[in-house]
Amino acid sequence: MRFPLPLKFFLFAALVAVVPLALVGQNLVQIARDELKSAVNEDLTGVAGQLRSEFDNMYQGRWLTPLMVIRSGVDNPELDVAQKVSLLTEGMEQLADVVALQLSVEGSDIPMLVSDQGFAQRLAAEGLDPVQALSSSGDLLASIEGTGQFGRPLISVIPETGDWMATLALPMESRLAGRKLTLAARINLSTLRRSVERHPFNQRGEITIVDHAGRTALVDSPKVINQRAIVASAMPLIVAGARADALESYTRVDGTLMLGAYAFPDWFPWAVITELSEDKAYAVISRMMQQIFLVGALGFAAASAAAIIFSRGLTGPILKIGRVADALGEGDFAARVQNVRARDEIGDLARRINVMAGQLGERLELMKFVSHETMTAIQARDGDRMRRGGERREVSMLFSDIRGYTAFSETVTPEEVIEVLNRYFEVQSEIVERHGGDIDKFVGDELMAMFVGEDKEERAVRCGVEIKEALAKTFGGQDGGHELAVGIGVASGAVVLGAMGARDRMDYTVLGSTVNLAARLCAKAGPWEVLVDVETQALVASGISLVELAPVVLKGYADPVPVFLAEHGK
């Protein structure tokens, strides 16, 4: 599967931009969460504890203690009934939340009651009897005495007005006609209710007052909320009279994650519960995460854009280099990497590719001037310099020479000579290569080729015959009005093949009697003749007609040399 470089840069940029930010953000969020949780816990417990203290201080300092002072005054045996009622009236006027004071005589259903006129009028407006609504029955007082609840509030609600009331009873030492006297007070808890409703914590959380049954208190419409885990935890402690404040996290029925705390007032049978959802508690973290995501997105976008720009700047030259490499592989050595001016490794690579292309082009051109055997020898040197010397090889040599060339070259311009030679050599070279031969060199109008390997003799002879026929067919022996033909000689045997010449200027060629024999046969051959020596004739298979001619006298040979005329078989 191909993985493009721009995609690699893009992913790398994404990792560089996102991963560090994610790690740092995670650590920051965790630290902030721990700190916020500690702060929220302190806030929750602090608010619950504050309201508990406020409830207790208000009850004891604002109501219980003044009522005990009033009780002491009323308990004075020197005061008559009228003075006691006057004292009750004066005392109630000093206590804003006390709406009724009552002096009850044991066994009597007719108490001495002093009430707040404004509150009494409210009750009357709702169709209630103020005396009946505000008085404490003898049974109620007897129950308070029986349970030892003197001095502790008994909570009740006036449904018609929604007022929460506390009944407080204090026993008196003096007696009236031998009967016990009890001072009872009806206290309006609206002050406590306002302290809960107006508390600043309500702007971000919830404050709930619940009783032992899990019902809400100090509200217009009480309801049971014992399905809340924190309420269920606090209810047994209210019943047991325990005062262990606590803090816990839980999940509501609707799935909301909550943090909560509760505290227990000493003078009320309630629990003050403070709650805050985790969403609000950790709102700062949410905003922090949003900022982190925003910064991460911007960083990712910037890194991505930079990666794309950088990758294009990098991959553009690489693609150009790749296209030039493909062109070089297809043999187009004129291809060059254009418009890459980067002063870095890519620019260096582009310049090296251009240099290499030039050198390959030069090498290709040079290869046209040397034989395949020469290139093979150079490639086989294994990094060493070419050394002069040679090795014995069994080869078949072919020489081809144009007849009438001298007269022709004297009557035309040099340019025409070159043009004609090129045309003749083009045809011959293609045939030599097709038969597996290697052109060693061109000498004037003469071509020298070498055949090695299996069937070299037969391939050499077939190559000579085909050259003769191809040239005769193509040019018809006429070129520019001049009679031109070829004579070909083929000989086989041992030669010395290797580098010869000076240390700094060598030629890779073949030497030996076989080479000389092929050259002499070529010189002896008439127009359109292919002469073959006896060594070659002995190894040529059927398909070629070899006609033995009279032995010929060759330069450098003492005895006549047997020769054969090669043609296609009939």
For range 455-463, the mean pLDDT? 93
Question: Which residue has 């508990």 as its token pair?
Answer: 52
262's enclosing H/E stretch is strand 257-263
Summarize pLDDT for 43-53 with one digit per residue, the tens: 888 888 899 99
Closest of 568, 570, 317, 315 to residue 463, by C-alpha:
568
Residue 293 has a CB neighbour count (10 Å cut-off) of 14
Q: Which residues pair with 500 in a beta bridge?
A: 507
Q: In this predicted structure, what is the pLDDT of residue 541?
A: 76
Q: In this predicted structure, what is the pLDDT of residue 519?
A: 93
> Whole-angstrom Cα distance, residue 26 to residue 31?
9
Cα dihedral 455, 459, 462, 464, rounded to 10, equals -140
- Specify the higher pLDDT residue, 495 or 27: 495
> Whole-angstrom Cα distance, residue 196 to residue 265?
13
- Specify the higher pLDDT residue, 96 or 19: 96
Q: What is the pTM of this model?
A: 0.52
Indicate if the pLDDT at residue 244 is higher than 70. no
For range 184-190, the mean pLDDT? 90
Indicate if the pLDDT at residue 228 is higher than 60. yes
Q: Which residues pair with 489 in a beta bridge?
A: 399, 531
For range 198-205, the mean pLDDT? 89
> Whole-angstrom Cα distance, residue 307 to residue 537?
74
* Contact between residue 60 and residue 42 where contact means Cβ atoms under 8 Å apart: no
Q: Strand, coil or helix: what is 504?
A: coil
Task: Assign 522 a pLDDT band (cuts: 50, 70, 90).
Answer: very high
Indicate if the pLDDT at residue 365 is higher than 60. no
Q: Which residues pair with 420 in a beta bridge?
A: none
Indicate if the pLDDT at residue 441 is higher than 80. yes
Angle between helices 283-329 and 5-57 (to 10 degrees): 180
Q: In this predicted structure, what is the pLDDT of residue 459?
A: 93
Range in 22-26, 111-115, 154-158 with the lowest mean pLDDT: 22-26
Q: In this predicted structure, what is the pLDDT of residue 271?
A: 92
Q: In this predicted structure, what is the pLDDT of residue 173?
A: 82
Summarize pLDDT for 161-170 with one digit per residue, the tens: 899 999 988 8
* Contact between residue 373 and residue 497 where contact means Cβ atoms under 8 Å apart: yes
Indicate if the pLDDT at residue 394 is higher than 90. yes
* Contact between residue 181 and residue 103 where contact means Cβ atoms under 8 Å apart: yes
- Specify the higher pLDDT residue, 363 or 377: 363
Indicate if the pLDDT at residue 384 is higher than 60. no
Indicate if the pLDDT at residue 152 is higher than 70. yes
Strands 271-277 and 482-483: unpaired
Task: Assign 377 a pLDDT band (cuts: 50, 70, 90).
Answer: very low
- Our measurement of the distance from residue 346's CA atom to the centroid of its chain's CA atoms, rounded to an integer in Å, reads 27
- Specify the higher pLDDT residue, 20 or 401: 401
Domains (range + CATH), the chain: 5-59+193-281 (3.30.450.20), 285-366 (no CATH), 386-568 (3.30.70.1230)
